[in-house]
Amino acid sequence: MSIFEQWGVTPIINATGSVTRLGGAVMPPEVIAAFSAAASDACSLEELQVAASRILAHHTGAAAGIVTAGCAAGLTLGTAAILAGLDAGRMERLPRPAPGDRHEFLVAREQRNGYDHAVRAAGATLVEVGFNEIVSNAGVRRTETWEYGAAITERTAGILYIAAPEARPRLQEVVDLAHRHCLPVLVDAAGELLPRNTLPDLVATGADLVACSGGKALRGPQSTGILCGRAELVGSALLQMLDMDDHPDLWSPPGILPEPRRLFGQPRHGLGRGFKVSKEEIAALLTAVELFFSGHYDQERSQQLTRLRQIAGQIPAPSRWELDDPHDGQRFPVLEVVVAEQALRKSAFDICRSLRDGSPRIFVGHGQLPLGRLVIHPLCLTETQSVQVAERLRVELTPSG
């Protein structure tokens, strides 16, 4: 029996990958063990974050890093760090920047997304640059680097960039441009961690802060993330997240700050106090980071490929399937089921809905539904669940009469 049933909640089969709505990635046993070991022990959270910084620096190549309450929290904290620096007075004012303070972030119009609310939540205003010309018939050009340069004013505090393989212009160009203007770049790399060198490569561009999720490809707790980058900014973010109720005569700034003397005054609870991360979550995330960067998860790929092939083998004609195998042994293989909508007189939306409503309840990726496709992601599927998915799909896709 699933633990959720005692509260009247029906468990589901998650064939969508690591989406937040469905609880993110399942944690490996090593990560769960770290979580529970940390739960029955005590330490200073500040010291644990300083230790985390060393480990995250080692794996990412950044000068420093902290565990945040998810990528979105990392974006809010990163923005707060850029806006306030090490100024306790500015930290205290956020999310209202001091009059006259730089508070605008440039972002490519085509990179706007639901998560940029996290940047605005810290008190920043987004200023869009670039055309969305690519979606019009004549359009061949996307956002260009000079457009960021042309939009910089004395109000510009930084540049927000959403990392994706197809993102243009390239991050390196944006970082070089920003640094010529002495501006920091904040990168949202949430779900983009595979192949494994992606995060180190993003950091190597010189991007000042990079935020990512802990509960997606890393397979840490869903409520975790990483914010890594320049030590002064990461230190500012940590100060704005930590509980600050230590006695001023006993408190000293966390060991992440390169020049703690530049901090004047002991900040009070900051903007990020509500984004606290527990010792259990930090211990679990650090364990997940070690597993991820050691390549431990790669061994699951061939089994995942086999399971997707088994599911594909059950898809009845005239529906079809396509298996996308990235062949690098690191990124996930993904199965796309092409629903024969005409023959079945049912749309992919209909099938998706009946999979959700049936028994067992199955959630598949909905990103390609308008194209008549269901997406099956193997990350959270067990052997038994794969068999159940195959069987339900076979039934749903069998033409009647």
Ligand X SMILES: *Cc1c(COP(=O)(O)O)cnc(C)c1O
Does 104 bind ligand X (CB under 6 A)? Our answer is: no
Q: How far is the CB of 166 from ligand X (least distance, A)?
A: 13
> Do residues 274 and 94 lie in contact, with contact meaning Cβ atoms separated by under 8 Å?
no
Instruction: Name the β-bridge partners of 104.
Output: 125, 156
Stretch that binds ligand X, among 48-56, 136-144, 185-193, 339-347 (CB under 6 A): 185-193
Q: How far is the CB of 115 from ligand X (least distance, A)?
A: 4
Helix or strand holding residue 306 (H, E) = helix 301-313
Pairwise CA distance, residues 152 & 5, whole Å: 54
Which of 70, 220, 267, 372: binder of ligand X (CB under 6 A)?
Answer: 70
- Exposure on the CB side of residue 323, measured as CA atoms within 13 A: 15
Does 221 bind ligand X (CB under 6 A)? Our answer is: no
Does 71 bind ligand X (CB under 6 A)? Our answer is: yes
Q: How far is the CB of 194 from ligand X (least distance, A)?
A: 13
Q: How far is the CB of 280 from ligand X (least distance, A)?
A: 17
Does 14 bind ligand X (CB under 6 A)? Our answer is: no
Q: How far is the CB of 210 from ligand X (least distance, A)?
A: 12
Map residues 141-180 to x or -, x wherever contact with ligand X holds by CB under 6 A. Answer: ---------------------x------------------
* C-beta closer to ligand X: residue 225 or 372: 225
Q: In the complex, which residue's CB is closest to ligand X?
A: 70
> How far, in Å, are 70, 115, 336 from residue 272 at the CA level?
12, 16, 40
Does 213 bind ligand X (CB under 6 A)? Our answer is: yes
Which of 78, 221, 225, 365: binder of ligand X (CB under 6 A)?
Answer: 225
Q: How far is the CB of 319 from ligand X (least distance, A)?
A: 29
> Do residues 107 and 129 lie in contact, with contact meaning Cβ atoms separated by under 8 Å?
yes
Stretch that binds ligand X, among 66-74, 289-297, 298-306, 373-381 (CB under 6 A): 66-74
Stretch that binds ligand X, among 129-137, 187-195, 275-283, 370-378 (CB under 6 A): 187-195
> Do residues 335 and 323 lie in contact, with contact meaning Cβ atoms separated by under 8 Å?
yes
Strand order in the sheet with 64-68: 64-68, 225-229, 209-213, 185-188, 156-162, 104-108, 125-129
Pairwise CA distance, residues 28 & 297, whole Å: 9
Measured in residues, the chain has a length of 401
* C-beta closer to ligand X: residue 72 or 86: 72
Residue 400 burial by CB count (10 A; 0-12/13-18/19+): exposed, middle or buried?
exposed
Does 200 bind ligand X (CB under 6 A)? Our answer is: no
- Which 15-54 residues touch ligand X, going by CB under 6 A? 20
Closest of 222, 276, 247, 253 to residue 47, by C-alpha: 253
Pairwise CA distance, residues 139 & 341, whole Å: 32
* C-beta closer to ligand X: residue 130 or 215: 215
Q: Is the dihedral of CA 219, 221, 223, 227 positive or negative?
A: negative
Residue position matching structure tokens 């390196």: 172
Does 191 bind ligand X (CB under 6 A)? Our answer is: yes
Which of 30, 115, 131, 310: binder of ligand X (CB under 6 A)?
Answer: 115
* C-beta closer to ligand X: residue 160 or 362: 160
> Do residues 106 and 159 lie in contact, with contact meaning Cβ atoms separated by under 8 Å?
yes
Count of residues of this chain found to bind ligand X when the rule CB under 6 A is applied: 12
* C-beta closer to ligand X: residue 223 or 385: 223
Write out the residues near ligand X by the rule CB under 6 A: 20, 70-72, 115, 162, 188, 190-191, 213, 215, 225
